[in-house]
Amino acid sequence: MPMYTAPIEDMMFLFEKLRNNQKYNELEKYKEVTSDLVKDILQEAAKINQNLILPLAKVGDENPAVLENGIVRTPPGYKEAYKKYIEDGWTSLSCDPKFGGQGMPKTVSAFFDEMLSSASLSFKLYSELSIGAYNCINRHASDEIKNKYLPKIVEGKWSGTMCLTEPVCGTDLGLLKTKAKKHSDGTYKITGQKIFITSGDHDLTENIIHLVLARADDSPAGTKGISLFLVPKFIVKDDGAIGPRNGISTGSIETKMGIKGSATCVLNFDDATGYMIGDKEKGLSAMFTMMNLERIVVGIQGLGISEIAYQNSLSYAKERKQGKTNDSKSKNGADLIIEHADIRRSLLNMKSIIEGERALCFWLSQQTEVSLYHPNDKVREEASEYVSLMTPVVKSLFTDLAMEITSDAMQIYGGYGYTKDQGIEQLYRDNRITPIYEGTNSVQAADLVFRKLSNKNGNVVNKFLKQVKSECNSDNEKIKPFISEFNNYLAILEKFSDWMVNKAQTEKDDVSAAANDYLRTLGYFSIAYAWIQVLNVCFKEYNENETFYHDKIETAKFYFDKVLPRIQQHYKSAISGSSNIMNFKFN
């Protein structure tokens, strides 16, 4: 079984030293969230993840969730762990105190999301969608529905899902067939089938609250006719008590490559009672409240799995002896593999990407809070644009790089990594879903270049780059080489952006073919931007924590020397166009 130690020191470094967003610090609601409080939370989070949840990863992989006589049963130990999990209040961490939450900002809850992803992604998925459902209901539902459903979701006694995908439609939701027929009492009867529903059914909670996209009988075809409905597994009575079973049944559980402990269900809705959330035929925009948050969280899943893969690779490399290095001092036997240049390159590649991603995620968490709670409309709107811009980047790049990192981890382990004994191959399998669900990474790339590169308020990328330019300058001579190199890649990104915008007017296939290259270019650049912020602190305060800051500086240097140059390849590949692709004749 893989080992795991939560990276609390790095998380606290970010919270204490990079919580420098002026607009974020203007939020009154988080004034009392001190470093001491956050450290206490992270230490407790580390305990439950390392001691209780981590062992469930292997258990769930070897004993998947099963459907027996219409009842979904989770793997051994899940029910006991979940009971402890909600008793300790982890489902309520970032929720509004009005509904029983603790009111912690995403700058804190994102760290917990990462830890939980490292410990067991399968276990995490049972509560993760509940937070998404909470956010969607809290944003769009009536006060009556909020007061009826949210306290139990926040407490963790009830869980949530989102039901979008159907056999006839995945990304193209305009094709969905699920119907909603209105009754005289204002409720709707929902009929249809949803597939690939994460945590669609299980035995961990008393009730499951499904958020279902469906089309009312009198609504038009296409995405404009979609509404959102709350459909509980069990009907909830007026006094909040659980009533009879609703018209929902589990058809099957998918047999999957990874995340086997998570029940991915086919759900059948047969005249199930549902309640409309938000305005009629505005369901897709309401559901995006949940989906966009979930896309960022999926990126954090990739980060968490990358972290545990790196920790175990590093530990193994310090113990495994194989071959001799070029300057071997060993007269008998072999050297530790960590002394080999290629192994060290792989480990530094992992480390530089992971720490850069964590810093970028912390920046994005601050922007998210500003977009939700800042009193100034203009400030909120600008922050919302940055969150919108970075959502597909974090979702896609973090998960794609997690595939690279888990693959390299297996390579470091050699043949042992390919066996089940070490648990490394499970990390690879578990992560493989992250580039797929919540919109495949190619869909995210298309969203970035066709919707985010230019939007109704102008080019948000240019706004972002303007902010970056204003921040990435320093009189410190030691950081100037980093900034100089950074500016070279900024110039490439600017040229790339202009090329994409121009091509969108004349040759959209060129843009489509270049979309993934553009997303990765923006992503690698954004991680470098986060590293510049880290370096500013490291050089300025070097003498305060010399060992920690020296490690950061050397890690950043590897990123700038070995990872950031990938931008050049992506740019060169992209501007070659799409003619060869579109004109190729497949036999």
Catalogue the active-site residues.
438
- Cα separation, 379 vs 23, in Å, equals 8
Question: Is 407:424 a contact under the CB 8 Å cutoff?
Answer: no
Q: Give the integer Cα–Cα distance in Å for 302 and 396.
A: 9
Write out the DSSP string of 520-580.
HHHHHHHHHHHHHHHHHHHHHTGGGSHHHHHHHHHHHHHIIIIITTHHHHHHHHHTT-SHH
With tokens 């999926």, the residue in question is 298
Rounded Cα distance, 370 and 348, in Å = 33
Q: Are strands 179-182 and 71-73 parallel, antiparallel or unpaired?
A: unpaired
Using DSSP bridges, classify how beta strands 207-216 and 226-232 pair: parallel, antiparallel or unpaired: antiparallel
End-to-end Cα separation, the chain, in angstroms = 46
The CA-atom distances, in angstroms, between 101 and each of 131, 155, 206, 263 are 11, 8, 19, 26
Provide the b/e sequence for 360-376 (b: ≥16 CB within 10 Å). bbbbbbbbbbbbbbbee
Within a 10 A sphere around the Cβ of 279, how many other Cβ atoms? 12
How many CB atoms are closer than 10 A to CB 4? 21
Classify each residue of 74-105 as buried b or exposed e, where b means 16 or more C-beta atoms within 10 Å of its C-beta: bbebbeebbeebbebbbbbbbbbeebbbbebb
The beta strands (E) that lie in 278-330 are given as none
For residue 281, give the nearest of 230, 210, 209, 229 by alpha carbon.
229
C-alpha dihedral, 84 to 35 to 350 to 113, nearest 10°: 30
Under a CB-based contact definition with an 8 Å cutoff, are residues 47 and 394 in contact?
no
Tokens 């939007």 locate to 455
Given the structure tokens 């070029």, which residue do they identify?
A: 326
